[in-house]
Structure 1
C-alpha cells in the first residue's frame, strides 16, 4: 500500500475537519491519509486492518437534521426495520426539514411505523433546530464534549448517538465511543484474545491511537462488518 505523505499540524486538525464536514459531506476526511499512516506505524492490528480495507474510507451524507432524525428512527430496532420505517417517513414527507416534521400530524407519522415516543423525540429535535439551539454553523469552533452536551439535551439522543454524529457527520478525528458494543467486541477480539473488555482497558488500548481514535474505531468496525456504514 503506497501512501502519499500529508502532515497536518495538531492545532489545525480540529478546525479543518469541521470546516470540511460543514461544506462537503461526501468527501473523505482530509486527515485520513495522515491518520492511517500514523496508526499503521504505531499498532500492528491497525496496520493489518488498514491493509485489509485500504480501498474504503469514512464518508458522510445528508444534513445534520436528517442524520439525527434517522438515528432516532433506528433506535432499538433492527437495521432492516429501521431502513423500512425511514423509507416510509421520507416517502410521506419528502421535504424532510425541522419545519415539516414539526408541522406533521402525529397520526400521519404513526402510519410510517413510528412509535409515540419516537414522534415526540423527532418533534423535540425539530424544535431545537427551529429555535436555533442546534445550529450546524456554530459547531465549527466547538469541541467534541460541548457538542455532545448540546445534542444530549434533545429527547431521545444519548451520548452514543452524539458520538456517532461526531464521527460520521462532523467527521471529528478523535472520538472513542466506549459504550459501542461493536467497538467493545472488536477490541476484545483483536487485543484481548476474546476476553471481556472494560472502559478503563479500552482507554488504555486506545492511547497510542490519539489523535485518530475515530479512524481506529472505524477500522475495528470494519473487521466485524466489512460493509462501511454511512449516516
Structure 2
C-alpha cells in the first residue's frame, strides 16, 4: 500500500521578517524557536479526510487513527473509501458519524458530484462556502484544508482552540474575546498561516 504524500508548509525569511515587524512579541518567540516544520498533505482528498479525523480529538489520537487508515486503505483515494463501508472506515478508530461523513464525501467526489480539485482555483472564502455544504464539514475543517493542503498564506482559525490558547500564552492573556482575536489576526495578515504555525507550537511545544 502506498502512503499518503506529505511535505512541509513553505515559508521563509520574508514571512518571518514581516511578522516580526508587525508583532515584536511574536517575532521574539520566532527568533528564539527557529524554523518550525509544519507537515501538510498537498492532495485534497486525503487532506480533507485527515481534517475530518482531526475534529475535536487530540494530535496523538489523530496520528494513531491516520496510521490505521493508511494501513487499511493505502493512499486514501475517494474511489477506495467510496467502495468501503462506513463500518470499515469506523473500525480505524473514529466515530460512526465521522465514518459516515467520510464515506458520503468520498462517494460525491468519486462520482464527480463534488469537484474537489476545482477548489484550488477559488479564493479562501469561496472554498469555505463550497466545503461547508458537504456533510460534517464546518468552518474549522475548511480552514484546516486551506492551510494544511492548499498552503493558503493567511489562515488564523478562531475555531481552533490551540490557536486561541497560543495567543493567550504568548501575550499572557487570561481570556481571549473574538474582538481581541480579530485584532491579532489582522496584525498577522497577510502571513497569518505562518503565525498559526508558531501559535500551535506555543500550545504544543513538546511537538516541536
* Partner residue in 2 for 1:50: 30
| Inter-CA distance 74–48: structure 2 relative to 1 (3 Å threshold) | same
* Partner residue in 2 for 1:134: 115
Q: How many Å apart are 1:148 and its aligned residue?
A: 0.7
| Inter-CA distance 91–46: structure 2 relative to 1 (3 Å threshold) | same
* Partner residue in 2 for 1:84: 64
| Inter-CA distance 140–51: structure 2 relative to 1 (3 Å threshold) | same
Are 1:123 and 2:81 matched, yes or no? no
* Partner residue in 1 for 2:154: 174
Could you list the per-position Cα deviations for residues 35-63 of structure 1 after superposition, in whole angstroms to 9, with x for gaps in the alignment?
11111122111211221222324442352
Unaligned runs of 5+ in 2: none
Contact 2:156 2:196 in 1 (8 A): yes
Could you list the per-position Cα deviations for residues 90-142 of structure 1 after superposition, in whole angstroms to 9, with x for gaps in the alignment?
22222521111111133433433343212210112212322332332x23331
Could you list the per-position Cα deviations for residues 134-171 of structure 1 after superposition, in whole angstroms to 9, with x for gaps in the alignment?
332x2333110100111111111111111111111111
For residues 219 and 81 of structure 1, the distance between their equivalents in structure 2, rounded to whole angstroms, comes to 21
* Partner residue in 2 for 1:183: 163
Structure whose CA Rg is larger: 1
Contact 2:53 2:94 in 1 (8 A): yes
| Inter-CA distance 79–220: structure 2 relative to 1 (3 Å threshold) | closer
For residues 60 and 164 of structure 1, the distance between their equivalents in structure 2, rounded to whole angstroms, comes to 10
Task: Give the TM-score normalised by structure 1.
Answer: 0.78
1:151 counterpart (106, 126, 131): 131
